[in-house]
Chains A and B, each alone.
Chain A
């Protein structure tokens, strides 16, 4: 038996593979969106699916996001399992009425008789030099809509495992893909047997005892980098990757914060009305007596997303994270 060296795969390739495997396993899975067929998507995430499964299974739709999601609702009503691609975060807004008024509510409206197993894939976040309307972090809107699951991978393996779980879910899932990680590679082995990653579980990516960085999606690599840099300052940081914003894994997050006694929430989305406020409140409500300092937030500024030449000032970086860690009232210990 010979061992073949594994060529590292990108997150985009893992996502493609997840859809491909789901389509092969279940004939009701249909991929639809703008440019997803012949072109394979503007990020090539649906590359090859139309060729392999035909255009009825991977469909180039007219350019209308409400129409795409609205017709996906009807397809799901008839027993299909649509996987919808929104081309960019900010291009998903026309579909909000369908998402909020129908996708999120149909199961509840019909007392469970009409569930809508729809996955809405949304490339989100900045850091790729995108011009206006191509870099939004829109997760707070989705989190505020009961009836949706909101999931976001930060590793290549999770991109595969969570997307499989999203497609298999009988509930609608907004699947946020951190587009600046599309081309990231890690140890994921596409040739190994693949696992589906259950939705709703956070994971500790780095163990530490000084403080917990709570993050997700595009900010995970930044937090891991910050944690490495923090060692020089004498802080041993734990990093929790939420993976799922709805449902929220209070247990994993709070277990970490109770261990470390300090927490910083890190995300690209704006701070005011952003996910960090909810997370900080949840942590404070549950871990108050374990906390040595207030839970802090490192977020994007409360700005319309900046033009690409200025975005580095907006995105939470290592320094801003370390500054926040420094403000966690360490003097009380000395």
Chain B
């Protein structure tokens, strides 16, 4: 019987009872960023781990300073500094096991270095002698990704593939607050949740997408809240509290590894430096704001905690500083050597086998180089 035929005697049949697909309550982030340092939770933290974190942060800060200096000296084309965000960078690296994969953005060279990538190789992109200086498989660090959020679906696909193969591998993907506006952020989170892929998304909310503040980027209650719409848990954490970030990321990694699916973590932090050396931050923010964040510094917070509890003496601090200086000296020395460039490399890796068209162009460049050489003799 059609609807028309039953006019007059129409008895509506209710559709199947509506139910939420998942209970949203457990997915919601805390009302405030989670903190460990300066709270009761700090007492439970492993002192050795905290000291290790401290040494990493000191080294990371020095790395940022050295890379910035190298840029001013013309040794790097550009450097997007993560000064002030070292807690996130270090925790992202330390939260993972060796078999896991890290998917950094262009601001995350420090995370790559903390995971074991050679500092010079990590800076290859920014020096400009090649696009990626390291074999991604060696430390399971994907190439530093410049187009925003486009590496997030890669992390999802890799994690999904690992799960299909039966490997308990987790992928951790890093993105900034600006990147959350990109379509790829949305698609990656949606795919991850639908596939229950073992992925952790770490959003470093550092307040600015170059010059644009978060208020112009989103109207969401927090970036962590976005997780709920995808059906995954969102966690909000103080991104300058290294112990808190490591704990939250560690939980998310375990959750993913044991079949719990993806998590979105928003770490609230601040970009102390300008976007890059080419940026002028005074055009869009005041010194007072920067100074406030300087006092909520990830190294100071951890140092204060460790000192208060008698876990860090002057010798340990000096040892951390010495190790950082040694790293910086090595980085300086190696970056001050001109990279060896071979223009013929331009054609070497476009395809497994160069096309006939590229082979002809390769010959052309070879001839040009030979003519150049003859001209110099």
Residues of chain A touching chain B, judged by Cβ–Cβ distance below 8 Å, are: 30, 56, 61-62, 64, 66-67, 69-80, 94, 97-98, 101-102, 105-115, 146-147, 149, 169-171, 200, 246-251
The dominant DSSP class at the B interface is helix
A113-B136, A250-B357 given; name 17 further pairs at CB < 8 Å: A62-B187, A66-B153, A67-B153, A70-B152, A71-B153, A77-B154, A94-B183, A97-B147, A101-B147, A106-B143, A108-B349, A111-B348, A112-B349, A113-B135, A114-B137, A171-B352, A200-B355
Binds A, one of B157-165, B205-213, B286-294: B157-165
Contact A64 B161 (CB under 8 A): no
Q: With the chains together, A72 CA to B352 CA distance in Å?
A: 19
Which residues of chain B are near A106, meaning CB under 8 Å?
A: 143
Contact A78 B165 (CB under 8 A): yes
Binds A, one of B111-119, B188-196, B262-270: B188-196
Q: With the chains together, A104 CA to B51 CA distance in Å?
A: 44
**Nearest chain A CB to B164 CB, angstrom units:** 6
Contact A114 B143 (CB under 8 A): yes
Q: With the chains together, A247 CA to B352 CA distance in Å?
A: 12
Question: In this complex, what residue of B is CB-closest to A115?
Answer: B352
Which residues 335-355 in B have Cβ within 8 Å of A in the complex? 345, 348-352, 355
Contact partner, A75, options B158, B194, B345, B355, Cβ 8 Å? B158
Contact with A along B107-130 (1 / 0, CB 8 A): 000000000000000000000001
Given contacts A101-B150, A110-B136, A112-B349, contact A73 B157 (CB under 8 A): yes
6 interchain residue pairs of minimum CB distance:
A74-B157, A70-B153, A67-B187, A71-B157, A247-B355, A74-B158
Given contacts A77-B157, A78-B161, contact A66 B187 (CB under 8 A): yes
Q: With the chains together, A322 CA to B306 CA distance in Å?
A: 86
Most buried by A among B161, B191, B350: B161
Contact B157 A108 (CB under 8 A): no
Which residues of chain A are near B156, meaning CB under 8 Å?
A: 67, 70-71, 74
Which residues of chain A are near B136, meaning CB under 8 Å?
A: 77, 110, 113-114
Contact A102 B352 (CB under 8 A): no
Given contacts A67-B191, A110-B143, contact A56 B164 (CB under 8 A): yes
B375 at interface by CB-CB < 8 Å: no
Which residues of chain B are near A74, meaning CB under 8 Å?
A: 153-161, 171
Interface size class of B (residues with CB under 8 A): 35 or more
Contact A66 B143 (CB under 8 A): no
Which residues of chain A are near B171, meaning CB under 8 Å?
A: 74
Contact A71 B191 (CB under 8 A): yes
**Nearest chain A CB to B198 CB, angstrom units:** 12
Q: With the chains together, A97 CA to B131 CA distance in Å?
A: 17
Question: In this complex, what residue of A is CB-closest to B345?
Answer: A111
Question: In this complex, what residue of A is CB-closest to B146?
Answer: A101
Q: With the chains together, A247 CA to B188 CA distance in Å?
A: 32
Contact B349 A70 (CB under 8 A): no
Residues of chain B touching chain A, judged by Cβ–Cβ distance below 8 Å, are: 130-132, 135-137, 142-143, 147, 150, 152-162, 164-165, 171, 183-184, 187-188, 190-191, 194, 345, 348-352, 355-357
Most buried by A among B135, B157, B190, B355: B157
Question: In this complex, what residue of B is CB-closest to A106?
Answer: B143
Which residues of chain A are near B357, meaning CB under 8 Å?
A: 247-248, 250
Contact partner, B162, options A56, A61, A78, Cβ 8 Å? A78
**Nearest chain A CB to B20 CB, angstrom units:** 19
Question: In this complex, what residue of B is CB-closest to A65?
Answer: B187
Which residues of chain A are near B142, meaning CB under 8 Å?
A: 77
**Nearest chain A CB to B111 CB, angstrom units:** 18
**Nearest chain B CB to A61 CB, angstrom units:** 7
Contact partner, A66, options B159, B184, B356, Cβ 8 Å? B184
**Nearest chain B CB to A144 CB, angstrom units:** 13
Contact A70 B160 (CB under 8 A): no
Contact partner, A62, options B137, B162, B184, B191, Cβ 8 Å? B191
Enumerate 9 A-B pairs (CB-CB under 8 Å) in ascending A order.
Answer: A66-B187, A74-B161, A75-B160, A110-B143, A112-B348, A114-B135, A114-B143, A200-B356, A247-B357
Contact A107 B191 (CB under 8 A): no
Contact partner, A79, options B154, B161, B351, Cβ 8 Å? B161
Which residues of chain B are near A98, meaning CB under 8 Å?
A: 150, 153, 184
**Nearest chain B CB to A101 CB, angstrom units:** 5
Which residues of chain A are near B355, meaning CB under 8 Å?
A: 200, 246-248
Which residues of chain B are near A79, meaning CB under 8 Å?
A: 161, 165
**Nearest chain A CB to B140 CB, angstrom units:** 10
Which residues of chain B are near A112, meaning CB under 8 Å?
A: 348-349, 352
Contact B190 A80 (CB under 8 A): no
Q: With the chains together, A77 CA to B135 CA distance in Å?
A: 12
Which residues of chain A are near B154, meaning CB under 8 Å?
A: 70-71, 73-74, 77, 102
